[in-house]
């Protein structure tokens, strides 16, 4: 009896299909394994420059985090006065980034004092290392807005919060004060690339979305420290270059910065007059038309709307504010942080109390 060839073929079809299916699955598994190996091979572990055993716990409302970059060289001459003044405006939202702990600090900042392995100098690589650490803190905080300031800045935190309140953190936004009038150019991969950047000395702010994008670059080893080292850029310039070149995000210029000098140009009485006078308030609306106050008077009045001020010990520039010292405090308060804080927030003028 002869077998039916078609019947035999039909009987083998399920087996053949099963074999093809198994081979298909094996091919997929091999491909996935290969991709996984390549991913692991190319994956870069982000190097943390923050040392110490204190975990970073953000207990604020997630809307804002501020880091202050300082050095152990300036604990008694700069950081002390920040802690006694504007740090008190938002102690749960401000983190100090430095190079080593100091047991002599007047306040226990807990995990709000973070030290790094970056060194204490004011040289380019140490500063770039600390700014890289600040970005790490920004990412871990996952706040809507992350802002950097230097240890010679006085920051009016309520004004900063007001400025950011109508901005969208879901967009990649980069705010600050421009350092030079024109874009600078950097040669990168044989190409001259123009860009603008926010000067770190006046403060800068990054949106949550921009911080996330920067952290993705950090996972690829594109960090402020590495770019600074490769191209010889300062920390704030390197950050601006990364944001502009690698992320194609434009810099947003904000005029929220003045310089604070230590001369006795005005008395507290005259400053209070500027503060409360309706004539000066009205003049801010149409100053170019009415000319009811001089430009220098207008600058003095505008201090109430500024976000940050920076200490200036020599000379005067066009955007300076003269604040007299508090009685018996002139030799101590060289940057006038006590004076400006008492002037702006008279109910917070006791510097002997503990930080809340």
Strands (E) across the chain are located at 50-51, 64-69, 94-98, 113-116, 145-150, 153-155, 174-176, 184-188, 191-195, 204-207, 252-253, 257-261, 308-312, 320-322
Structural domain boundaries of the chain? 50-253, 257-348
Q: Which residues are catalytic?
A: 236
Secondary structure (DSSP) of 38-50: HHHHH--PPPP-E
Region of 221 on the Ramachandran plot (φ > 0 left; ψ -120 to 50 alpha; else beta): left
pLDDT (0 to 100) of residue 299: 54
How far is 340 from 327, CA to CA, in rounded Å? 13
Cβ-based neighbour number of residue 97 at 10 Å: 25
Q: What are phi and psi of 23, to 5 degrees?
A: -60, -40
CA distance 120 to 85: 23
What pLDDT shows up at residue 180? 79
Pick the closest to residue 144 from 128, 160, 127 (CA basis): 160
226: exposed, middle or buried (Cβ count in 10 Å: 0-12, 13-18, 19+)? middle
Q: What is the CA radius of gyration of the chain?
A: 28
The CATH number that domain 50-253 falls under is 3.90.550.50
Q: pLDDT tens, 246-255? A: 999 998 887 6
pLDDT at 48: 75
Kindly give the parts of the chain with pLDDT less than 50.
34-44, 53, 261-292, 318
């Amino acid at each position: 009896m002869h077998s039916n060839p078609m019947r035999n073929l039909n009987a083998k079809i399920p087996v053949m299909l099963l074999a093809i299916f198994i081979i298909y699955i094996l091919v997929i598994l091999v491909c996935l394994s290969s991709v996984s190996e390549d991913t692991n091979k190319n994956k870069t572990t982000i190097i943390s420059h923050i040392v110490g055993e204190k975990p970073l716990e953000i207990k604020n409302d997630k809307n804002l985090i501020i880091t202050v970059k300082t050095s152990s060289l300036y604990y008694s001459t700069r950081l002390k006065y920040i802690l006694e003044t504007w740090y008190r405006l938002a102690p749960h939202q401000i983190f100090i980034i430095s190079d080593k702990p100091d047991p002599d600090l007047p306040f226990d900042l807990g995990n709000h004092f973070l030290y790094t392995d970056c060194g204490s100098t004011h040289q380019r690589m140490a500063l770039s290392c600390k700014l890289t650490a600040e970005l790490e803190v920004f990412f871990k905080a996952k706040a809507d807005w992350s802002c950097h300031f230097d240890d010679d800045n006085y920051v009016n935190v309520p004004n900063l919060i007001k400025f950011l309140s109508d901005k969208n953190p879901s967009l990649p936004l980069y705010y600050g004060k421009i350092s030079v009038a024109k874009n600078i150019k950097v040669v990168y991969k044989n190409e001259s690339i123009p860009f603008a950047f926010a000067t770190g000395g006046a403060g800068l702010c990054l949106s949550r979305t921009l911080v996330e994008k920067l952290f993705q670059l950090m996972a690829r080893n594109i960090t402020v420290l590495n770019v600074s080292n490769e191209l010889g850029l300062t920390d704030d310039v390197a950050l601006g270059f990364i944001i502009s070149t690698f992320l194609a995000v434009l810099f947003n210029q904000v005029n929220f910065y003045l310089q604070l000098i230590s001369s006795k140009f005005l008395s507290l009485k005259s400053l209070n007059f500027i503060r409360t006078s309706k004539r000066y308030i009205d003049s801010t609306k149409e100053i170019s038309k009415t000319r009811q106050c001089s430009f220098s008077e207008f600058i003095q009045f505008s201090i109430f709307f500024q976000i940050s001020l920076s200490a200036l010990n020599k000379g005067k520039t066009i955007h300076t504010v003269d604040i007299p010292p508090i009685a018996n405090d002139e030799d101590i308060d060289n940057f006038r942080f006590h004076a400006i804080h008492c002037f702006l927030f008279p109910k917070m003028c006791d510097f002997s109390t503990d930080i809340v």
